[in-house]
Structure 1
Amino acid sequence: MEYKVEEVSPVKRLIHVTVPAEEVDASLSATIAMYGRDVKIDGFRKGKVPASVVEGRFHKQIYSEATTELVNVHINEIVGELKVNPVSRIDFDGDLLKRGEEYTYTLNFEVMPEFPMPAYEGIEVEEEEPVVDPDEVQAVIDRIRNQMAELQPIGEDRAPKDGEIAVIDFQAYDENGEPIEGIKADNFELPLGEGQALVDFESVVKGLKADQEGEGEVVFPEDFLNEELAGKKVTMKVKLHAVKERKLPEVDADFAKKAGGFESVDQMKETVEKSYMQSRSQLARSQAQKELLDKLLKMVDFEIPDAMLDRHVNAMVDEQRHRMEQQGKSLESQGKTVEELREEVKPHAEELSRSEIFLLTLAHKEEMQVSEQEIDFYFRQMASRSGEDYNQLKQLYMENNLIWVVRDKLLADKAMELLYSKAAVTKVPPKKDEEGGEAPEAEGSAESEEE
């Protein structure tokens, strides 16, 4: 086998392969022999069927498999000799083998771009020191206290108001007075004034007293997930059974113990503050690492492989659609097409691709490796967070040939840690926003550990 490499672009390779007739015939003979060991044909003992009979009976399967096997062997040889790691699917263009004839075909794929690595030691970068306001800790305590509150009926005969719980039955009706399926509930506990229901619907509820019935018009938002109801006006009939208020527990040792097994309120507050500190430290470090990487990326220029860019774009589009669905919205309700969304996320995808290329190139330069134990640990952490089965999760990645994505992520993480360890890091106070407060952190950064 001989091949010639054509560099279509800095990241695209077109391989022209020529296979002599002798190698073609040898490949066909090997496949025929494999078939001959197992096939059963009347008049012949198993394993004793003449090669010509096997070839004639299974011609299409044999020539297809022989072609695939031969090309796969060549791919491994060529990729190994070129010392490249394809970042895209390897596309094959060629016909089936023909006995006694020279065989030619082409392979094309994308590879990582090559570029001179800039000096990355001693680059100055600032990392903000984490700070936690006591009011933030108290807000968490208040939120937990609110969650642990007991619901008690109010003693007054009046309409419910914000901050209270209305126990209601409700049913939606269309313009013809027919009940709408799926928009109905009995003895539903609705917190008022917390944004859990449409304002028009809450207005109907707030106009009633216990055991009263009422109705009102409610208009669903244009981006409502149920497209059949988006923008539609319905009549909502409501019966108010009772109004309840939250009886907040005292903030004492018993409260701390019930909230999370804490020995005291002080220990509870310390834990909340520690959680905030950890999350903000991680956030500050991540922001400083990004600043460092951005400085280095400005020193280099390279082409992004289309396959890598598409992978990031697809992931972002899927994530946004999933987030919309969780909010009860759909892409179509936002008046956007998939292609428009792809164009919106493309700049961010390009940024991620450039970062990934730089870090993987650095990892290769530093001869970094990722062990099977590290990959297993990654999947165990992912399974723990998602509640999925570890073995099934890993098997899913293996079946879809996605283990390399995990490996590259872990390599990039290692390379980023190496970069940061060689930077000149200066700790600085938190930056202030325009109103004088601390700059806002990423949403939800401390919530999971606090609760």
Structure 2
Amino acid sequence: MQYTIEEITSLERKILVQLNKDDVNKALDEVISEFAKNIEVKGFKKGKAPHDRIETEYSEKIQKEATDKAVDDAVQKIFQETKINPLSQVRFDYQEGEQTLIRNNSFKFTFYFEILPNVPLPELDKLTIKVFEPNITPKDVYNVTRRFCKGKIQLTEIKELRTPQASEICIIDFESLYQNKPVPGMQGKNYYLKLEEGNNTELNKITFQLKNGEEKISQIVVPQDYSYPLVRGKEVSLKVKLKQIYKETLPEMTEELAISLGFKNLKDFERTVLSQAMNIHAQKVKLEGQQKLLNELIEPLKIELPISLLAFYKSEYLQEVKERLKICGHNSNEISVILKDLSQFAEEEAIKNTKIHIFLLSLAIRENLSISEDELNKHINQLAIKNKQSPDELYKFMQENNIIQKIEDRLLTDKAMELLYNKTKKIMIDKDGKDIRVDK
């Protein structure tokens, strides 16, 4: 095998490959040998048919499988020899008339891909970040208890004409308009809303003011982090109708109830609730800290971004928005208009996510992180269970649609993020922002 590498741009590479006739014949022979083990040819026992007979009868299938295998093996060998880590999916270009291997002939093909740009990486042991001290509240304990007691909760409708109280459940209809058009994602029918003290969302505040059956239209300013970017910071009208109020009552926690829920006793239940509440709160603090840390590291980055990755993240963002709009009941014409309006925002999201991807992938390479076959299979099995699919069928689908590499990259960037956060010195602060202690 011979190959030459060309630089198309600073990040894109082109590799021209030629397999000589010995490479071609070897690839064909290997596939034929595998075929011979499992097929039956008339006049011969299974596995005993001559290879030339098999090659004649199954030439098209053998050539295709041999070509796929030879090309894949060649690409992997080139990457190993050159120590190149391709960032994008490999794109192939075959010579005209040379779509498959032909015995005693050489075979040429070309492939393209992008590589990682040079990313300035920090020394992890010198990083610091301020995060809130994990501190569970009665609300956290209540929410965990509620999950354990699901199915045993009593709901009582409030018939009295009054405004709802904190912790009560309201059934509402709501709709928001901007420039006389519905705001994507800001509509709901028979929406289940649990009112919480201290929750300052406009929907929560307006519902607190209504009595059963009342309706109110208010002008609100959309938060800057709202999922539909075109209305961020804009004033929109929000109409809310309170249809019903329910009081939620948890069962009295007793030894008998704790045991019926699968615990040894009431103390075991209480310990578990506190532990889970703390874990949930700690995880929330961790996620917020990771996002803050990433933003601080990514924002000043000035690097060239790979076109393929930008295109991928833009497409992913628009697809997610499209799915949300479908759930909200928008028709295809409305969705098309909205997605067109969002093109600029999608590009901005793509730039941010591409920077994060490149930074974390570069960090993973520097720190010699990798994803084992067991880790990959475990993740695919979890996806299969979640989607009620066969793991083997899902893996096959991912292979056929070139998704495996994307999955591995995501797992690798997750692992890099975990390392980054764990190595960063955390300064714990209270709710007022005052330093409490330093966790290394």
TM-score by length of 1: 0.58
**What does residue 12 of structure 2 align with?**
12
Query: Per-residue deviation at 1:428?
Result: 1.0
**What does residue 71 of structure 1 align with?**
71
**Structure 2 residue 344 is matched with structure 1 residue 346:** no
Instruction: Output the CA distance in 2 between the equivalents of 1:25 and 1:266.
Output: 68
**What does residue 134 of structure 2 align with?**
130
Query: Per-residue deviation at 1:255?
Result: 12
For the structure 1 residues 24 and 50, does the alpha-carbon distance in structure 2 shift closer, same or farther, using more than 3 Å as the test? closer
Query: Per-residue deviation at 1:356?
Result: 2.2
Equivalent position to 2:114, from 95, 110, 130: 110
Give 1:258-337 correspondences, 5 Å limit: 275-298=276-299, 300-330=301-331, 332-333=333-334, 336=337
Give 1:47-446 correspondences, 5 Å limit: 47=49, 67-86=67-86, 87-94=88-95, 95-96=97-98, 103-134=107-138, 148-149=153-154, 249=249, 252-253=252-253, 257=257, 275-298=276-299, 300-330=301-331, 332-333=333-334, 336=337, 338-341=339-342, 343-379=344-380, 382=383, 386=386, 388-389=387-388, 392-393=390-391, 395-401=393-399, 402-430=403-431
Query: Per-residue deviation at 1:265?
Result: 11
What residue identity is the alignment partner of 1:320?
V
Query: Per-residue deviation at 1:125?
Result: 1.2
Cα-Cα RMSD = 5.3
Query: Per-residue deviation at 1:284?
Result: 1.9
**What does residue 229 of structure 1 align with?**
none
Query: Per-residue deviation at 1:22?
Result: 6.3
Instruction: Output the CA distance in 2 between the equivalents of 1:62 and 1:103.
Output: 15
For the structure 1 residues 34 and 274, does the alpha-carbon distance in structure 2 shift closer, same or farther, using more than 3 Å as the test? closer
What secondary structure sits across from 2:337 in the alignment?
Answer: coil
What residue identity is the alignment partner of 1:110?
E
Aligned residues of 1:331 and 1:337 also touching (Cα < 8 A): no
What secondary structure sits across from 1:121 in the alignment?
Answer: helix
For the structure 1 residues 394 and 249, does the alpha-carbon distance in structure 2 shift closer, same or farther, using more than 3 Å as the test? same
For the structure 1 residues 392 and 311, does the alpha-carbon distance in structure 2 shift closer, same or farther, using more than 3 Å as the test? farther
Q: Structure 2 unaligned runs (5+)?
A: 170-189, 196-202, 204-210, 215-242, 434-440
Instruction: Output the CA distance in 2 between the equivalents of 1:145 and 1:275.
Output: 16
Query: Per-residue deviation at 1:11?
Result: 2.7
Query: Per-residue deviation at 1:129?
Result: 1.2
What secondary structure sits across from 2:90 in the alignment?
Answer: coil
Query: Per-residue deviation at 1:396?
Result: 0.5
For the structure 1 residues 74 and 286, does the alpha-carbon distance in structure 2 shift closer, same or farther, using more than 3 Å as the test? same
Q: Structure 1 unaligned runs (5+)?
A: 166-188, 196-202, 208-242, 433-451
What residue identity is the alignment partner of 1:148?
I
**What does residue 185 of structure 1 align with?**
none
Instruction: Output the CA distance in 2 between the equivalents of 1:190 and 1:358.
Output: 40
TM-superposition CA deviations, 1:251-299 (whole Å, max 9, x none) = 644699389678779976x866655543332222222223333333356
What residue identity is the alignment partner of 2:131?
E
Instruction: Output the CA distance in 2 between the equivalents of 1:30 and 1:253.
Output: 68
Query: Per-residue deviation at 1:78?
Result: 1.7
Aligned residues of 1:131 and 1:430 also touching (Cα < 8 A): no
What residue identity is the alignment partner of 1:111?
I
What secondary structure sits across from 2:124 in the alignment?
Answer: coil
TM-superposition CA deviations, 1:371-401 (whole Å, max 9, x none) = 34434444555566x3x44x72464034312
Instruction: Output the CA distance in 2 between the equivalents of 1:192 and 1:48.
Output: 72
**What does residue 3 of structure 2 align with?**
3
* Bigger Cα displacement from structure 2, 24-33 vs 86-95: 24-33
TM-score by length of 2: 0.59
Instruction: Output the CA distance in 2 between the equivalents of 1:101 and 1:265.
Output: 77
TM-superposition CA deviations, 1:332-379 (whole Å, max 9, x none) = 435635454454333223322222222222222222233344344445
TM-superposition CA deviations, 1:46-100 (whole Å, max 9, x none) = 956978x976x87766766665554334223222212223331331231326777
What secondary structure sits across from 1:283 in the alignment?
Answer: helix
For the structure 1 residues 249 and 375, does the alpha-carbon distance in structure 2 shift closer, same or farther, using more than 3 Å as the test? same
What secondary structure sits across from 2:126 in the alignment?
Answer: coil
Aligned residues between the structures: 355
* Bigger Cα displacement from structure 2, 59-68 vs 118-127: 59-68
What secondary structure sits across from 2:390 in the alignment?
Answer: helix
